[in-house]
Homo-oligomer: A and B are copies of this chain.
């Protein structure tokens, strides 16, 4: 969930100074058009980790935009007036009217997240409350409002660094309170709760936008651009009925940095080390799946990756460690006629194994947010809602004692070219390369964006994405086997 927001995004001063005036002008113009047409209101939530710049962001938006059409609400301790009414009353009274923008620093999420972190409520109560939030935001959307939810994130290290830096600086020292340090000690718990909240409340109509908070320039530009694009898109879609979903669009990272770029694809394993490790982990995997307790669990492994990234070879290295009676490999191609007559996830549900089995999906339900998104095989709304449908699906698997592991096999564009050309030269491999592969290659960047969004929106502690550096096939195969062993081992405990 937070992978992309821990990469160390940065925007240099020159770029910032160049881009800000353009952005501000565009924002003002969008704001003016919004006020003129007054078809909808914009509700912006700024949440996130302490020290990630929530307050600064609100100040900045206020500075950049026309104050006549924007209102900020710092939702701190409720007043006595507010305490005597249902908790949502304070938000209702602060809602912006059509044509205006309302910014909420602290929102209908804040208290429940804190209550859960400090164990004042349980998960079930948190879920009830989050369900109410989803219903509330659905109502806002049905009534025409544009809801943009930002979550400013900092990794644990960076939060600590930032708090310390602020404490050192006499100008900012006053802003670090004891509460901040108490919260910092709860970082891991906080992150876990936040992840649960994001997973449940990132809907097609109001998805969370997770933004790395460390670099002020990056954070400010990102928030500004997301707001701009979301308002623009909605203004352009003004003729749609209000209950149509037109969520804020997902934008690629503004500094062009993304999780795939941070991978060191050239990690290698020597033939000798590979042979040793292969034997070791295949043996281990075999042993684990013969553990009596394994009969009470299930493993589902998903393989996705660039074309020619070596999914097939990796899968064979896994299956050759398993008892043929207890595993199945499901290759996912275009849906059959029978499958097309069913809801999208039906063709995956039918392959969910019994206990004590391993099922490997060679491509999977993620096709919806990868190829179908990029190629336009389904509508925007369809792939946007797919993230939560997939999260719901995998949550059911996990609750049923299933280890869900998702491998993304990543190779560089050059390595792919080398493999394509090699395949075309080698007779028996020629069938593996099609025109479609070459066409996909032309959309390399679009696929990268889709992959990053996929990881950000569907990777969780519960069912994580494992990014596999696959330029070296040996390295990739061992990483996969090793990860599988580790996760199964934990689950067996």
Chain A residues engaging chain B, CB cutoff 8 angstroms:
38, 41, 81, 84-89, 92-93, 95, 97-99, 122, 124-125, 127-128, 131-132, 135-136, 139-140, 142-143, 145, 241, 243, 245, 298, 338, 341-346, 349-350, 352-355, 379, 381-382, 385, 388-389, 392, 396-397, 399-400, 402
Contacts and interface: CB of A to CB of B under 8 A. Distances in A.
Given A86-B397, A92-B346, A354-B84, A99 B341 contact: yes
B388 A346 contact: no
Nearest to A131: B131
Integer count of this chain's copies in the complex: 2
Contact of A388 (B135, B344, B379): B135
A346 B124 contact: no
Among A131, A243, A343, the one with the most B-chain Cβ atoms within 10 Å of its Cβ is: A343
B400 A85 contact: yes
23 contacts: A38-B341, A81-B354, A84-B354, A85-B354, A86-B396, A86-B400, A86-B402, A87-B396, A89-B352, A92-B350, A93-B349, A93-B350, A95-B342, A95-B346, A127-B127, A131-B131, A135-B389, A140-B343, A142-B381, A145-B343, A243-B379, A243-B381, A243-B385
Nearest to A128: B127
Contacts of A389: 135, 139
Given A85-B354, A86-B397, A132-B396, 11 more contacts: A38-B341, A84-B354, A87-B400, A95-B343, A124-B125, A124-B127, A127-B127, A128-B131, A142-B381, A142-B382, A143-B343
A139 B204 CA distance: 12
Contact of A86 (B89, B97, B352): B352
A226 to B, nearest CB: 23
Nearest to A97: B341
A98 to B, nearest CB: 4
Contacts of A84: 298, 354-355
Contacts of A124: 122, 124-125, 127-128
Contacts of A87: 396, 400
Contacts of A338: 97
Among A38, A95, A140, the one with the most B-chain Cβ atoms within 10 Å of its Cβ is: A95
Contact of A344 (B122, B143, B245, B343): B143
A351 to B, nearest CB: 10
Nearest to A132: B392
A97 to B, nearest CB: 4
A26 to B, nearest CB: 24
- Listed from nearest, the 3 A-B pairs whose CB atoms lie closest are A97-B341, A124-B124, A143-B343
Nearest to A381: B243
Contacts of A344: 143
A54 B355 CA distance: 33
Among A86, A93, A124, A338, the one with the most B-chain Cβ atoms within 10 Å of its Cβ is: A86
A400 to B, nearest CB: 4
Contacts of A392: 132, 135-136, 139
Contacts of A41: 341-342
A382 B144 CA distance: 11
A399 B88 CA distance: 12
A38 B342 CA distance: 11
Contacts of A38: 341
Given A124-B124, A381-B243, A98 B143 contact: no
Contacts of A388: 135
